[in-house]
């Protein structure tokens, strides 16, 4: 088989409330489509596991029993929660899956919001956000939220996890090169048909359809979180959908964070805490970690990078 015989076959679909695009390098379109189908089925399976939009999902069962009793979950969900709690510790709570406790009444990012909630109301709402109150019992594979009203959600890590799982399943089915892109959180492996690495574009935070920089990657994951995706304007100021779990108020100061590492779940999970921590604390944390890099753009369009990145 020559490289010239290979092509990239792609498909986009809406999953987990996001646009996923799966790309497979193959000679045969029917073969590629079967592998893409398998990847999509895996993402749908994870969506059923993690969704908060279905009463019978494990996530919702845990939430419904907050402050009441532990809920036995699958080993897969338990392990994802444990990894989430590890990231919470590393980021000193800037990443916290109990952010689900923030009520939609407080922050609803539709254009009807004309004023920020008052500081006291926001403070009351975030009282329930505390990863230390997510109690995991290894022995019986159960999860207990210690306070009534607490809620967990996987919005900050679920897409990346699903992308990694789809990649793994597709690789097991013989896909040697491909990309799974979950609305900007992506994982790429192998090479393009021309023998080169995959070229990933990082969106310009002031015009998300324009690219401000390109990366050539293989066996890498990239996640970008920016205030250009969901935001509201109040009194001429832009407020992003990223909420600081300590204050309940939106983060300002950083327009865009791109994380580059070996795993899409980690990349997805680390983009938000770096945004919350701010340029200097965020980069300081990244610089102390192995095999992870970051590119930041602040509100004044200044570019910052972690130590091992050189932007030309």
Q: In 152-291, where do the E strands start and end?
A: 178-182, 185-189, 198-204, 207-217, 220-226, 231-234, 237-240, 254-261
Q: Residue 65's pLDDT is what?
A: 97
Q: Roughly what angle, to the nearest 10 degrees, separates helices 264-277 and 279-287?
A: 140
**Nearest-angstrom CA–CA distance, 115 and 11:** 40
- Using the structure block, give the residue that is written with the tokens 């069962």: 61
Q: Coil, strand, or helix at residue 279?
A: helix
Q: Note whether 303 and 311 are within 8 A (CB).
A: yes
Does 3 score more than 60 pLDDT? no
Q: Note whether 251 and 238 are within 8 A (CB).
A: no
Band of pLDDT at residue 206, cut at 50, 70 and 90 = low
Q: Residue 87's pLDDT is what?
A: 97
Q: Which residues contact 284 (CB under 8 A, 6 or more apart)?
A: none
Q: Residue 240's pLDDT is what?
A: 64
**Nearest-angstrom CA–CA distance, 220 and 22:** 15
**Nearest-angstrom CA–CA distance, 44 and 50:** 10
Q: Note whether 58 and 71 are within 8 A (CB).
A: yes
Nearest to 296 by CA among 208, 202, 218: 202
Band of pLDDT at residue 258, cut at 50, 70 and 90 = very high
Give the predicted TM-score (pTM) of the model.
Answer: 0.90
Looking only at the bridges linking them, the beta strands covering 220-226 and 185-189 are antiparallel
Q: Note whether 209 and 238 are within 8 A (CB).
A: no
Band of pLDDT at residue 232, cut at 50, 70 and 90 = low
Q: How many CA atoms lie within 13 A of 211 on its CB side?
A: 8
- The helix (run of H) or strand (run of E) holding residue 170 is helix 158-172
What average pLDDT score do residues 305-310 get? 87
DSSP state of 147: S
Q: Coil, strand, or helix at residue 48?
A: helix
What average pLDDT score do residues 155-167 get? 96
- 11-64 tens-digit pLDDT: 999 999 999 999 999 999 999 999 999 999 999 999 999 998 888 899 999 999
Q: Note whether 98 and 128 are within 8 A (CB).
A: yes
DSSP state of 243: B
Choose the weakest-confidence range: 142-156, 162-176, 242-256, 293-307.
242-256
Q: In 67-153, where do the E strands start and end?
A: 71-72, 134-137, 142-145
């Amino acid at each position: 088989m020559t490289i010239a015989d290979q092509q990239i076959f792609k498909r986009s679909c809406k999953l987990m409330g996001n646009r996923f695009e799966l790309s497979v390098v193959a000679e045969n379109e029917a073969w590629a489509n079967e592998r893409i189908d398998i990847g999509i089925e895996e993402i749908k399976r994870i969506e059923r596991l993690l969704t908060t939009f279905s009463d019978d999902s494990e996530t919702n069962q845990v939430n419904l029993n907050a402050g009441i009793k532990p809920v036995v979950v699958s080993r897969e969900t338990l392990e994802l929660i444990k990894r989430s709690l590890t990231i919470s510790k590393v980021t000193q709570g800037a990443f916290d899956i109990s952010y689900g406790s923030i009520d939609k009444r407080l922050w609803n990012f539709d254009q009807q919001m004309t004023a920020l909630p008052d500081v006291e109301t926001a403070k009351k709402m975030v009282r329930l956000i505390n990863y230390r109150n997510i109690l995991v019992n290894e022995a019986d594979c159960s999860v207990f939220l210690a306070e009534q009203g607490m809620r967990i959600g996987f919005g900050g890590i679920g897409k990346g996890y699903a992308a990694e799982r789809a990649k793994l399943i597709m690789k097991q089915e013989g896909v040697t090169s491909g990309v799974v892109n979950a609305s900007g959180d992506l994982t790429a492996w192998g090479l393009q048909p021309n023998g080169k690495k995959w070229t990933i574009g990082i969106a310009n935070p002031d015009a998300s359809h324009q690219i401000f920089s390109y990366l050539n990657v293989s066996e890498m994951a990239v996640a970008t979180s920016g205030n250009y995706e969901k935001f509201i304007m109040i009194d001429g100021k832009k407020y992003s959908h990223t909420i600081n779990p300590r204050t309940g108020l939106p983060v300002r100061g950083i327009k865009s964070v791109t994380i580059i590492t070996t795993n899409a779940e980690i990349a997805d999970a680390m983009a938000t805490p770096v945004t919350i921590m701010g340029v200097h604390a965020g980069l300081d944390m990244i610089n102390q970690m192995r095999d992870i890099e970051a590119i930041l753009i602040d509100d004044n369009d200044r570019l910052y990078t972690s130590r091992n990145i050189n932007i030309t």
